[in-house]
Structure 1
């Protein structure tokens, strides 16, 4: 299926690794021009080399801490000079804060919302002038299935992701007159860096997706219908479709990519 992304301009914030990089690869495979935001130059260089070898020979990596509004504004000003407009903004950024409501400190709560919510506010705010200049535009934000099925030790993470879902729904309403479509992807148990690190900490083979799901079921009681965890490359194509011209009428949706659950 041609997603209508050839020569489209795409920003993937948090695209240096994991599901963000998997999404960037899908856009590259479709011939889009891509800018990846990440905090570390090492991640960016690896990601950009990867994208250059696919369908995005002019992919660029920009060191940006999305928590810093000034850095975000500077990055989009650079892209305005480079591209003029922007077709797609993907926000794959998120917090990595663990703890219960009573154990988390105020600073940890602030970190979760700075990482997981304010960063997205900053990118959307700076991107909107460019998105409005384009012939067509899409925003795809990453939430999480944990907003629908709680894990006690992820209180701040889940709260931040729930805020992302709410903001995205609000944006879908606000931007509908401009025909800028805004959607959310909510991954379930996917072999992200944080999940793999947790698996290693409890002695689970992080290379075996079936063993990972068994461990999640044992420790958290959150199995999916499928007997394994998902892979980042299984989330990327969903993001690419939602961010594509082919998606012309879906907005305000929260799409679960979770291996099957009872969520609606």
Structure 2
């Protein structure tokens, strides 16, 4: 499918690895210009070089931590300066995972900055540019916004806020032609889960091919209809589609991509 993204510019915050980089690769393969943002400059530079090799018209990596006040605005400015325009932003940040409901105020506040403020700051900084191009916003929540896990309740709560924030952006800025959608992934085998697969297999003597699936079912209580974790590139395909003009009448949606988790 031609995503119609040639001559368009995209910013992927959290785009130096995992689902964000997977989405950027799909855009690159169709000739888009891309800026990826992460917290490490060397990793950002490697990601940008990979995107150019994959077909991007041009690509650049920037190092910013959007959970810190002022950094998101600088990231957006750097992207617009490089791209010359901004047709879409994807924000895939937020790593504060396993926290119980009994977490301290400081832990909740740190998670709030990481999981929600990083998203809202990035999107708010991008919106004036997206109005000019009738552009699009994509954020990531999680399947747990529909079925909260008690060991990750702060995470699920704040990801729920991301989903509602995104829907609000869609409603408020639709009159300007701006679309906004939120992706709700299940367990996706990014680098961290891939490493867990090997660690669990080694520690417990389980077959490597099924070690992660056993943890998901037996310990996390996740019942996945497709009986496997997702792949970053599967989420990346969805992310790129939502960013592209091919999804031109889709806005305000929370899109599950979880293999059928906990129907």
> Same-fold call, TM > 0.5?
yes
Distance in 2 between the 1:119 and 1:182 partners?
A: 16
Residues matched between the structures, number = 261
2 CA distance for matches of 1:141 and 1:158?
Answer: 14
Q: What residue in structure 2 maps to residue 119 of structure 1?
A: 118
Note the 1:140-219 alignment, pairs <5 A: 140-199=138-197, 202=200, 203=203, 208=208, 210-219=210-219
Relative distance call for 1:33 and 1:150 in structure 2 (3 A) is same
Shift of 1:200: 5.0
Residues 180-212 of structure 1, C-alpha deviations (whole Å, 9 max, x = no match): 110011110111234345445544799956431
User: Counterpart of 1:236?
Assistant: 236
Where 1:59 maps in the other structure, the secondary structure is strand
Contact 1:66–1:122 (8 Å) recurs in 2: yes
1:191 and 1:26 mapped to 2: Cα distance?
18
What residue is the counterpart of 2:85 in the other structure?
A: 85
For the 8 Å contact 1:86–1:130, the answer to whether it is kept is yes
Is 2:101 the partner of 1:101? yes
Pair 205,132 (structure 1): closer, same or farther in 2 beyond 3 Å: farther
Tell me if structure 1 keeps the 8 A contact 2:34–2:83.
Answer: no
Runs of at least 5 residues in structure 2 that lack an aligned partner in the other structure: none
Aligned-partner Cα distance in 1 for 2:209–2:89? 30
Q: Greater shift after overlay, 68-77 or 21-30?
A: 68-77
SS at match of 2:90: strand
* Preserved CA contact (<8 Å) 2:184 2:254: yes
User: Quick one: distance in 2 between partners of 1:207 and 1:11?
Assistant: 39
Structure with a larger share of its residues in helix: 2
Between 191-200 and 67-76, the greater mean CA deviation after superposition: 191-200
In structure 2, how many angstroms separate the alpha carbons of the residues matched to 1:213 and 1:149? 19
Match of 1:38 in 2: 38
- Counterpart-to-counterpart distance in 1, 2:80 and 2:148: 40
Q: TM-score, normalised by structure 2?
A: 0.92
Q: CA deviation at 1:68?
A: 2.2
Counterpart Cα distance in 1 of 2:101 and 2:252 = 29
